[in-house]
Structure 1
Amino acid sequence: MFNEGTGMSTIVTFISGFVGGLAALLMPCIFPMLPLTVGFFTKRHHNRRQGIRDALLYGLAIILIYVGLGMAITIVFGASALNNLATNGVFNLGFFLLLVVFAASFLGAFELTLPSKWINKAEENTGKKGFGGILMMAAVLALVSFSCTGPIIGTLLVQAAGSGQRLGPVIGMLGFSIALALPFVLFALFPSWLQSLPKSGGWMETIKTSLGFLELGLSLKFLSNVDLAYHWHWFDREVFLVLWIMISGCFGLYLLGKLHLEDHLTKGIGVPRLFSGILVGAFSLYMIPGLWGAPLKSIAAFLPPQDTQDFDLYTQSFKMTPQSGYGLVRAGAAGTKHKDLFHAPLGLSAFFDYEEGMAYAMSVNKPVLIDFTGHACVNCRKMEAAIWPDPKVLPLIRDEYVLIQLYVDDKTAVGSSTIGEINSKLQAEKFNSNSQPDYVLLDNKGKLLTQPVGAIYNAAVYAAYLQSGLNKFKKL
């Protein structure tokens, strides 16, 4: 009834892949090939119907190649390993460096290419009759366009693998390949549409460079994940924001024609590029109040937690609100274990150890809200920034429940294990789940009050979920 997180994550993964495919289509390596490829299929046969059939098979071949890549990633790593990748320090650090390389490539520092013998080998087989030859033509497209599509595909696979979804890479590549294949099929069905295509030109380089700035900004999220999991405190919220402000500021200046990269000289900019520059510049200015603690709810999911910020007027405003007003965070009992490592959002009192929190709940006769969360959990940050502060939700968490936050990806050693491993094992064995966020409502004896849920991006629905558990507890 309440849970909507898993389905939304799958949809978001597909949409991200689809948008990535559209972006790849507009790159200099692919866009000029569109009319040539469509013309080849429509002119190779005297029968137009056969040409359309071959174009349809070509689109299907593109989908098979990229979905096959996603399937291979899933098979090689396995479902459980994919879920662990999102919290693995080496994975996050490695992909931070990889995305920086991709960004540098898009910004013009160098060009990524595959070995020429791979391309030559594929081209040798394009003359085959039937679907085999068409499949090899699609493979040639994938290989030749790698310098443009490689960074996009790599980013999508990283995001999909890190999401922890069993078929995340497959779903992401399905969206990507459909967006890439669809124009080839449509233009084969309606050749007259080709006349309305814009001519190749500098606008494609603008798109490529823009993706470079976006990749550079995205890479910082992976570095932040490592910093949070190991408690280095080198990359707190204000540092992250300063870097994003600088990147988006440079991006905006580039779009407005004020920042010129090597070989990217701009004589003038059109209206679409002007509007894009204004939007990116506005986004850069939007983030500036975040340096003083503004929640920035629209992007909070990608930022380090609010509690990592040294100067935070936003959280202080909750603590200073009069007792009768909304926003009060009472100085209730909080856990002593791991209190130097973790801090609950919004100044809430919380426990960070399951046994300690349950013992306190028993002593005060209150129900328990367990929040299985993670440093690298994007949806967790979004819930804490956009849903928990809501006046329908905050009083329930603050006054009616004992809050226990359990981080499943923390790398702090406890004996021969880590805090994250202990909490992850507890979640899997006791509640048969390994996704985050995972909200569990218990009575103070450890029995479920209602079924656990994931992310719910509707404050009224989430408040109703909390209230349903509270009502059941009061009837016990």
Structure 2
Amino acid sequence: MRPLLLLSALAALATAPSAQPAFMGGAPPPDPDDLVVWTGPSDPVRLARGGTATATLTLSVAEGWHVYALDSPLGIPLRVEATVLPRGVRAVGLRQSPPVDAVDPSLGEPVRWFDGPATVGVDLAVTADAPLGAHTASVEVRYGVCDDQICLPPQTRTVEVSLVVAGGASAVASGPSAPAPPPGDAPSGPDPAEAGLETGPVEKAPVEMEPVDPATAGVPEASAAAPARGGGGEGLAGFFLLAVGAGLAALLTPCVFPLVPLTVGAFSHDTSRGRALGRALGFGVAVVAVFTALGAAASAVLGAAGAQRVAADPVVNLVLGVAFVVFALSLLGLVELRLPASWANRVEGASRRRGGVLGTLLAAVALAVVSFSCTAPFVGGLLATAAADGGGAAAWARPLLGMAAFSAAFAAPFVVLAAAPGLLSRLPRSGSWMATLKGTLGFVELAAALKFLSNADLVWGVGVLTRPVVVALTMAVAALAALFLLGRLRLGEPAGEPAPRVGAGRLLGAVAALGAVLVLAPGLGGGAVPLADALLPPLVPPASGAEAEGRLAWHTDDLDAARAEAAAVGAPLFVDFTGYTCTNCRAMEARVFPAPEVAPLLGGDVVRAKLFTDGRPHGPVFQEVQRRLTGTVAMPTYAVLSPTGEVVGVWSGMASPDEFASFLRTAFDAAVGPADA
């Protein structure tokens, strides 16, 4: 059905009145080929059997424009893929010259881009039996080019690269200025660093540089509907602090906190204080090693592209969302996560029988096993956050860093208290405060689960966890947390347990939870929630048919229905040519459309349509619709049509609320003027 609708849209354009817009807002963009030029190596790339080499592509960008880098967290990240390679040659990595670290002028978020000459390298590995001689490879690049006003739809270009495979096994790197080796000698070339490359080593590459995994070079097209997020949330520093906080919070849970004085007391039994401190230090190092090994395993499984895969894969988001729900229920005392008791007994017995380093390591493993029911939600949640919130070349290291920081914070008190046993008397006594902390963190993880579940819903286009629904559920979680802290909601407590006393800490927590309810309230009507927008579905989710965006009904990806309604009611048709990856489009929709000068005009007697021109499979068709209607494929572009289908106004690029309101008034008057005459 959808292909028929698309074909009918183009057919309708072919029979629509042929007229130029009465006026044009914004300047028409130049030809994309005039903005970005890609060239391959000027000399053949010399490859040695059993070795590696780098084929370097050069791009030049017109002044005032920029191309997003391979690892840009926002925008339209560059994608590079070797689509045709000779037998025995494979692409094993990507490099790029240092991009510009900038702030997107539309959204105020950090991005990485090239705004002048730059180089991108494709690392090639050659097998020992690769056929000798000259070959031709094809490298496909897909990129987005923008200025401070508009973005053109993603462009795809193919660059041909000449290769020469010779005998020998020495690693080489070839770029635009790579000299040909003397006949009969092993192939050689310039150091990749000479071309200004910042990323890299592959197998025997001569210089140690930071790699960019090919899978992180842009978000797959199927995930275009995923909400744009900043790379890594708070960045590595913020993630490190989150991991440290998780380690300290896990330490304060009922499964762990009572073990602190017992464990420190066991170290203090030694007559020598130095030996006791040494055992405690060894125990702390062993705890760090146990948890960090778990992080290393996660890093190995995820690889450098883990963050991008998680952010793009709805199945993984669904699994993580369900996992967070289970962890939350565990912290709330409704579900118990516990390893078999025999495991703890065996490990603890082995640690007592064996001394030295092995005994200390086994004691750390015993602590991890015994405390599993309380630490599992923190460890699992942290690893999920590391996988889903990473970005850039360091994404693969986040699980490793997270577990190292978590375990260091978790183990530090054992070492400190062993060094100063007198501090044990100052520790707070175990009590209901631990259950309060544990339950509060359970509500936090329950709210976090909604983020992953809504991501899966958004990519699949199910439309169940819409922005208002997620806001309502988050408000409900916050309200339940407030009731829990006020002692009105009892969870995971034995029957007949007396009601907890509501002290200052509980009261402050309840006030904060109720404050979160008030902060989220505007989101129920589709409004912006600045303090929580990063955790909520986007304000303008992709959808099909006539969908509500705030209080306005939009025909999304259905121009036929919009034209039919406009003709039936005799109203102007406002068409928003937008894109999933267009940050300028998001800025217009979030800042200009709701402005007091603009909102009454868009909310009046107007039919509204929204076409996404950068998605698949329908994006190319909508892009052609845009080109025929407006004469440009830039994003954002807005067109106003009369009820008879005549284009009476076009605006391309960003605009202030006053400018856009003036455009709309003039265009709407032009659209309905003939009908009033």
For residue 537 of structure 2, the aligned residue among 297, 304, 318 is: 304
| Contact in 1 for aligned 2:268/2:418 (Cα 8 Å) | yes
Alpha-carbon deviations, 1:273-300, whole Å to 9, x = none? 1111111111112211221233111110
The one-letter code matched in structure 1 to 2:302 is F
SS in 1 for 2:101: coil
Alpha-carbon deviations, 1:218-274, whole Å to 9, x = none? 111111011110111111100001101111001011111222225265242111111
For residue 51 of structure 1, the aligned residue among 276, 291, 299 is: 276
Aligned partners of 1:62, 1:242: CA distance in 2, in Å?
A: 40
Aligned partners of 1:175, 1:188: CA distance in 2, in Å?
A: 20
Normalising by the residue count of structure 2, what TM-score does the alignment of the two structures yield? 0.48
Give yes or no for the alignment of 1:196 onto 2:426: yes
Aligned partners of 2:306, 2:425: CA distance in 1, in Å?
A: 48
Alpha-carbon deviations, 1:114-157, whole Å to 9, x = none? 12232223113213222211111010000000000011111111
| Contact in 2 for aligned 1:107/1:212 (Cα 8 Å) | yes
What displacement does 1:102 show? 1.6
Corresponding position of 2:329: 104
| Contact in 1 for aligned 2:260/2:414 (Cα 8 Å) | yes
Aligned partners of 2:335, 2:284: CA distance in 1, in Å?
A: 30
User: Is the alpha carbon distance of 1:350 and 1:31 closer, same or farther for their aligned partners in structure 2, counting shifts above 3 Å?
Assistant: same
The one-letter code matched in structure 2 to 1:310 is A
Corresponding position of 1:2: 101
Corresponding position of 1:145: 371
Aligned partners of 1:364, 1:396: CA distance in 2, in Å?
A: 10
Q: Which runs of 5+ in 2 are unaligned?
A: 1-99, 103-109, 111-229, 542-546, 555-572, 593-609, 637-650, 657-677
Corresponding position of 1:240: 470
Alignment of 1:40-439 (within 5 A): 40-43=266-269, 45-127=270-352, 128-164=354-390, 165-263=395-493, 265=497, 266-308=499-541, 310=548, 312=550, 335=577, 344=586, 346-347=588-589, 352-353=613-614, 356=623, 398-399=654-655
SS in 2 for 1:2: strand
More helix, by proportion: 1
Between the aligned residues of both structures, percent identity stands at: 35
Aligned partners of 1:18, 1:98: CA distance in 2, in Å?
A: 21
For residue 254 of structure 2, the aligned residue among 10, 28, 31 is: 28
Aligned partners of 2:260, 2:631: CA distance in 1, in Å?
A: 68
The one-letter code matched in structure 2 to 1:189 is A
Aligned partners of 2:415, 2:359: CA distance in 1, in Å?
A: 17
The one-letter code matched in structure 2 to 1:170 is L
SS in 1 for 2:487: coil
User: Is the alpha carbon distance of 1:267 and 1:24 closer, same or farther for their aligned partners in structure 2, counting shifts above 3 Å?
Assistant: closer
SS in 2 for 1:118: helix
Aligned partners of 2:465, 2:652: CA distance in 1, in Å?
A: 32
What displacement does 1:334 show? 5.0
User: Is the alpha carbon distance of 1:94 and 1:337 closer, same or farther for their aligned partners in structure 2, counting shifts above 3 Å?
Assistant: closer
Aligned partners of 1:29, 1:338: CA distance in 2, in Å?
A: 46
User: Is the alpha carbon distance of 1:72 and 1:247 closer, same or farther for their aligned partners in structure 2, counting shifts above 3 Å?
Assistant: same
- After TM superposition, the structure 1 stretch with the greater mean CA deviation from structure 2, 109-118 or 248-257, is 109-118
User: Is the alpha carbon distance of 1:73 and 1:269 closer, same or farther for their aligned partners in structure 2, counting shifts above 3 Å?
Assistant: same
Give yes or no for the alignment of 1:15 onto 2:241: yes
| Contact in 1 for aligned 2:523/2:529 (Cα 8 Å) | yes
For residue 38 of structure 1, the aligned residue among 248, 264, 273 is: 264
- After TM superposition, the structure 1 stretch with the greater mean CA deviation from structure 2, 295-304 or 3-12, is 3-12
Aligned partners of 1:278, 1:241: CA distance in 2, in Å?
A: 19
Q: Which structure 1 residue ranges, 4+ long, deviate > 4 Å from structure 2?
A: 3-8, 313-316, 331-334, 336-339, 348-351, 354-357, 363-369
CA RMSD of aligned residues (A): 3.3
Aligned partners of 2:550, 2:431: CA distance in 1, in Å?
A: 47
Normalising by the residue count of structure 1, what TM-score does the alignment of the two structures yield? 0.68
User: Is the alpha carbon distance of 1:397 and 1:119 closer, same or farther for their aligned partners in structure 2, counting shifts above 3 Å?
Assistant: farther
More strand, by proportion: 2
| Contact in 2 for aligned 1:294/1:314 (Cα 8 Å) | no
User: Is the alpha carbon distance of 1:315 and 1:248 closer, same or farther for their aligned partners in structure 2, counting shifts above 3 Å?
Assistant: farther
